[in-house]
């Protein structure tokens, strides 16, 4: 079992002929993901790594039965691309693109939530169900199938944790990068609910960072609804207030969003908090007796 | 990106919000000339991108051109929380009956915009929220529907305004929301919105935070960036496409990925050191980008050692290692480096760096310990 994506996922790639889109399509195909279609306006009839290209998402869905999309188009075209995928009826849309305007995402996320469509991202590494499907840019060689669900706002920090788990022989059900933007399609609680409901997920790793209050909301949710052991880490203890730390959403503003507050919320919720990233895999190993 | 008060008020004025008819000056003589044009009593206000200007002595009333010139001379060049004052705003002084707080702000958690107001203007909203939360009235705007007139009425009556004043307040709420949306702002704040002696309202101070991701479609706003508010290192990094933040420690950090870069800083502190910077070289960085990153770190004389932490995913560890060596070949430095590369092609990377007599470590924690020890020995 897994969440969100598996070997039955029929993936469509928006922006497939671009540099990023083409490169990562190759990796997704090599991993064994069923990449059934690509979309780039004006490039219908071409193929990328053997994947047929269509002008519109609607055309691609009609021809291939795609049921999920991953988006690599430039930031200024991203809101349009997400809404096009939603309009074509795709229930899962994963947006890798960084730098999408916040006001675009306000409109897009509210529209998708109303329609019950799952958007992951933007500004995220995507998700991977080891051995089944890779949707996005998480390296396939650092994961293996197993019992741990991973959810994170980060990219490479997540890779670190996946790599450390895999090195210890601890595999993952699904790893989900929800992205580092202030307005996201999928929040921690959405993923936590899915991991709690997934019988194959035995424990959960949650990696947060400074900015916003989603970690606090996640902590409340875990205290009330999650019965599986949870290991947590918050990045940005040394970040100064008022400065954006790389991610658009990683900023302490008006005195809120600090790592200290988030860590305290995690601890109150009974989450096993790691002091540094190397500890995360060690704590998971101890908890599951691996 | 943040902009100055005078820029925010000019923008607000364009959306119909009443603002004082002041002008900005960079010299005492210019300030005097502005005061002569305005006539009467004026207020001279330091233009720096930080709060607490009043308490720091950066806002002063002045009567007559001589006094204005003197006040401007005092304020220009002043240091306010590490920001040097290069400009002052000279505004006509007004008789204030009372002060209101009004702002449109992004609510990340709800994925909405909140408009909030309070009769306790002129102080930080965080302070009001802590001491008298019921004094703050809020409405939440659904971005798919937009602001409606009732939102303005609820806020106006909620803080006890009535009659024509409530009507003008409602119009200002609509104008502020329009400014917030049109400018791609994440915060548009008027504090204070003052009630004048005749009962009408005027925005006496303004603050706008702009969404950096939207500047591509706001070229006019990009031009408002104040180069004086950025350090030389921060400017170099921005132009090279690196995410960089100056800190005041002694361990330079060079990392790929924002979350990992923050975690690297944190581990440095956990090991008893203190990070000199946040630096994320991004994904798939080439040797030239690595070199620029190193130059930025090494130009800081406080840097006593450098911790390189790279997770090779799609990025190959051996390529980064070669990039580091190439960069060091072009930069003359005796600052010790500790390099930790894991993930794709990490073994090859370690072999390359071992040949160059560079300290390496298998884990982030060990690497941080080594970097802290190396810095302490200098």
Nearest by CB to residue A157, choosing from B113, B260, B275, is B260
The CA-based dihedral angle spanning residues A167, A170, A174, A177, taken in that order and rounded to the nearest 10 degrees: -50
In a mutagenesis test of the B interface, which of A106, A188, A282 is the best target, namely the one with the most B β-carbons within 10 Å? A106
Pairwise CA distance, residues B373 & B378, whole Å: 9
Give residue A290's pLDDT.
Answer: 65
Pairwise CA distance, residues B154 & B152, whole Å: 6
How confident is the model over B28-34, as a mean pLDDT? 96
Catalytic residue among B30, B69, B189, B291: B189
CB contact under 8 A, B212 and A237: no
Pairwise CA distance, residues B244 & A244, whole Å: 9
Tokens of B222: 């990009």
Closest Cα in chain A to B182: A103
Residues of B with Cβ-Cβ distance to A243 under 8 angstroms: 245, 278
Give residue A12's pLDDT.
Answer: 98
Mean pLDDT: which of A175-179, B234-238, B349-353 is highest?
Answer: A175-179
Closest Cα in chain B to A181: B108
H or E element in which residue B140 lies? strand B136-141
Residues of A with Cβ-Cβ distance to B108 under 8 angstroms: 182-183, 211-214, 249
Pairwise CA distance, residues A128 & B314, whole Å: 14
How confident is the model over B278-307, as a mean pLDDT? 87
CB contact under 8 A, B265 and A238: yes
H or E element in which residue B241 lies? none
Q: Are strands A145-152 and B201-203 parallel, antiparallel or unpaired?
A: unpaired
Q: Give bridge partners of residue B254 from the DSSP assignment.
A: B308
Residues of A with Cβ-Cβ distance to B238 under 8 angstroms: none
Does residue B99 carry a catalytic annotation? no
Catalytic residue among A27, A103, A247, A272: A247
CB contact under 8 A, A276 and B364: yes
Nearest by CB to residue A245, choosing from B212, B258, B313, is B258
Average pLDDT, chain B: 92
The CA-based dihedral angle spanning residues B223, B228, B230, B232, taken in that order and rounded to the nearest 10 degrees: 110
Please, which pLDDT band fits residue B54 given cuts at 50, 70 and 90?
A: confident
Is residue A94 within 8 A of residue A121, CB to CB? The reply is yes
Is residue B45 within 8 A of residue B88, CB to CB? The reply is yes
Give residue B284's pLDDT.
Answer: 67
With H, G, I as helix, E, B as strand and everything else as coil, classify residue A274: coil
Please, which pLDDT band fits residue B44 given cuts at 50, 70 and 90?
A: very high
As a whole number of Å, the end-to-end CA separation of chain A is 20
> Which one-letter DSSP state was computed for residue B195?
E
Tens digit of pLDDT at every position of chain A (290 positions): 799 999 999 999 999 999 999 999 999 999 999 999 999 999 999 999 999 999 999 999 999 999 999 999 999 999 999 999 999 999 999 999 999 999 999 999 999 999 999 999 999 999 999 999 999 999 999 999 999 999 999 999 999 999 999 999 999 999 999 999 999 999 999 999 999 999 999 999 999 999 999 999 999 999 999 999 999 999 999 999 888 898 989 988 877 899 999 999 999 999 999 999 989 999 999 998 86
Residue B18 distance to chain A (closest CA, Å): 26
Chain centroid to CA B56: how far? 19
Give residue A58's pLDDT.
Answer: 98
Nearest by CB to residue A155, choosing from B106, B186, B259, is B259
Pairwise CA distance, residues B103 & B114, whole Å: 8
In a mutagenesis test of the A interface, which of B83, B177, B263, B372 is the best target, namely the one with the most A β-carbons within 10 Å? B263
CATH topology of domain B21-92: Dna Ligase; domain 1 (3.30.1490)
CB contact under 8 A, B108 and A76: no
Of B243, B263, B352, whose CA–CA distance to B307 is shortest? B263
Class of domain B231-375: alpha beta
Residues 137-176 of B with CB under 8 A from A: 142-144
Which residue is it, tokens 């060596």?
Answer: B325
User: Any residues with CB less than 8 A from the CB of B373 and at least 6 apart, and which?
Assistant: none
Using the Cβ of B181 and the Cβ atoms of chain A, whether some distance falls under 8 Å is answered with yes
Q: Are strands A133-136 and A172-177 parallel, antiparallel or unpaired?
A: unpaired
How confident is the model over B279-305, as a mean pLDDT? 86
Give residue B12's pLDDT.
Answer: 98
Pairwise CA distance, residues A55 & A53, whole Å: 7
Omega before B239 within 30 of 0, i.e. cis: no
Domain boundaries along the sequence of chain B: 21-92, 96-222, 231-375
Q: How much is the pTM? A: 0.94
Is residue B117 within 8 A of residue B158, CB to CB? The reply is yes
How many distinct helices (H) and strands (E) make up chain B?
13, 18
| DSSP string across chain A | --SS--TT-EEEEETTTSHHHHHHHHHHHHHT-EEEEEE-TT-TT-EETTEEEESSHHHHHHHH---EEEE---HHHHHHHHHHHHHTT-SEEEE--S---HHHHHHHHHHHHHHT-EEE-SSS-EEEETTTEEEES--GGG--EEEEEEEES-SHHHHHHHHHHHHTT--EEEEEE--SSSS-SS-HHHHHHHHHH-TT--EEEEEEESSSSHHHHHHHHHHHH--S-EEEEEE-TTPPTT---SSTT---BTTBS-HHHHHHHHHHTT-EE-SSHHHHHHHHHHHHT-
Give residue B319's pLDDT.
Answer: 81
CATH topology of domain B96-222: D-amino Acid Aminotransferase; Chain A, domain 1 (3.30.470)
Please, which pLDDT band fits residue B327 given cuts at 50, 70 and 90?
A: confident
Pairwise CA distance, residues A135 & A6, whole Å: 10
User: Any residues with CB less than 8 A from the CB of A174 and at least 6 apart, and which?
Assistant: A2, A3, A4, A5, A127, A128, A129, A130, A149, A150, A195, A198, A201
Q: Give bridge partners of residue A203 from the DSSP assignment.
A: A148
- Dihedral sign, CA of A26, A27, A32, A37? negative
Q: Give bridge partners of residue B139 from the DSSP assignment.
A: B115
ipTM, 2 decimals?
A: 0.93
Predicted confidence (pLDDT) at residue B344 exceeds the cutoff of 80: no
Please, which pLDDT band fits residue B229 given cuts at 50, 70 and 90?
A: confident
> Which one-letter DSSP state was computed for residue A256?
B
């Amino acid at each position: 079992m897994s969440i969100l994506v598996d070997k039955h996922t029929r993936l469509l790639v928006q922006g497939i002929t671009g540099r990023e889109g083409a490169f990562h399509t190759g990796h997704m195909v090599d991993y064994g993901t069923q990449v059934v279609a690509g979309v780039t306006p004006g490039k219908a009839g071409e193929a990328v790594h053997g994947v047929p290209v269509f002008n519109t998402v609607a055309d691609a869905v009609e021809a291939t039965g795609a049921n999920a999309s991953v988006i690599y188009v430039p930031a200024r075209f991203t809101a349009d691309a997400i809404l096009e995928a939603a309009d074509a009826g795709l229930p899962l849309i994963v947006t890798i693109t960084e730098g999408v305007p916040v006001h675009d995402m306000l409109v897009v996320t509210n529209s998708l939530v109303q329609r019950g469509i799952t958007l992951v991202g933007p500004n995220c590494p995507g998700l991977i169900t080891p051995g089944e499907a890779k949707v996005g840019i998480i390296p396939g060689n650092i994961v293996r199938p197993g019992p741990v669900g991973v959810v994170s706002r980060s990219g490479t920090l997540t890779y670190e944790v996946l790599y450390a788990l895999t090195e210890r022989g601890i595999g993952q059900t699904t790893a989900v990068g929800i992205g580092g933007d202030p307005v996201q399609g999928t929040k921690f609680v959405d993923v936590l609910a899915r991991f709690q409901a997934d019988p194959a997920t035995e424990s959960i790793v949650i990696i947060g960072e400074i900015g916003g209050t989603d970690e606090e909301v996640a902590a409340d949710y875990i205290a009330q609804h999650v019965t599986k052991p949870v290991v947590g880490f918050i990045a940005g203890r040394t970040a100064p207030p008022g400065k954006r730390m790389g991610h658009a959403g990683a900023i302490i503003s008006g005195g809120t969003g600090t790592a200290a507050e988030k860590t305290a919320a995690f601890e109150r919720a009974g989450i096993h908090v790691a002091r540094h990233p190397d500890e995360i895999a060690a704590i998971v190993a101890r908890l599951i007796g691996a | 990106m943040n902009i100055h008060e005078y820029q925010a008020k000019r923008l607000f004025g364009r959306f119909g919000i009443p603002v004082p008819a002041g002008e900005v000056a960079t010299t005492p003589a210019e300030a005097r000339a502005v005061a002569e044009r305005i006539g009467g009593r004026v207020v001279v206000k330091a233009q720096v991108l930080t709060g607490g200007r009043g308490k720091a002595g950066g806002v002063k009333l002045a009567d007559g051109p001589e006094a204005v010139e003197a006040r401007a001379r005092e304020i220009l060049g002043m240091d306010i929380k590490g920001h040097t004052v290069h400009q002052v705003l000279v505004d006509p002084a007004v008789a204030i009956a009372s002060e209101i707080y009004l702002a449109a702000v992004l609510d990340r958690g709800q994925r909405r915009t909140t408009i909030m107001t309070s009769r306790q203007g002129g102080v930080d909203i965080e302070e009001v929220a802590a001491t008298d939360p019921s004094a703050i009235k809020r409405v939440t705007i659904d971005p798919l529907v937009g602001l409606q007139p009732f939102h303005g009425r609820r806020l106006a009556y909620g803080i006890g305004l009535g009659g024509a004043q409530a009507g003008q307040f409602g119009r200002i709420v609509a104008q502020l929301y329009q400014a917030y949306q049109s400018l791609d702002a994440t915060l548009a704040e008027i504090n204070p919105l003052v009630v004048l002696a005749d009962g009408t309202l005027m925005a006496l101070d303004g603050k706008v935070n702009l969404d950096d991701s939207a500047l591509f479609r706001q070229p006019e706003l990009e031009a408002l960036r104040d180069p004086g508010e950025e350090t030389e290192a921060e400017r170099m990094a921005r132009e090279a496409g690196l995410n960089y933040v100056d800190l005041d420690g002694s361990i330079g950090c060079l990392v790929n990925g924002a979350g990992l870069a923050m975690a690297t800083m944190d581990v440095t502190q956990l090991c008893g050191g203190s990070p000199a910077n946040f630096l994320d070289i991004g994904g798939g960085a080439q040797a030239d980008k690595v070199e620029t990153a190193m130059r930025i770190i090494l130009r800081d004389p406080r840097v006593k050692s450098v911790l390189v932490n790279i997770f090779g995913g799609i990025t190959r560890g051996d390529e980064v290692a070669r990039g580091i060596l190439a960069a060091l070949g072009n930069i003359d430095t005796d600052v010790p480096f500790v390099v930790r590369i894991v993930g794709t092609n990490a073994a090859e990377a370690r072999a390359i760096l071992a040949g160059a007599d560079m300290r390496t470590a298998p884990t982030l924690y060990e690497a941080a310990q080594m970097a802290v020890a190396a810095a302490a020995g200098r």
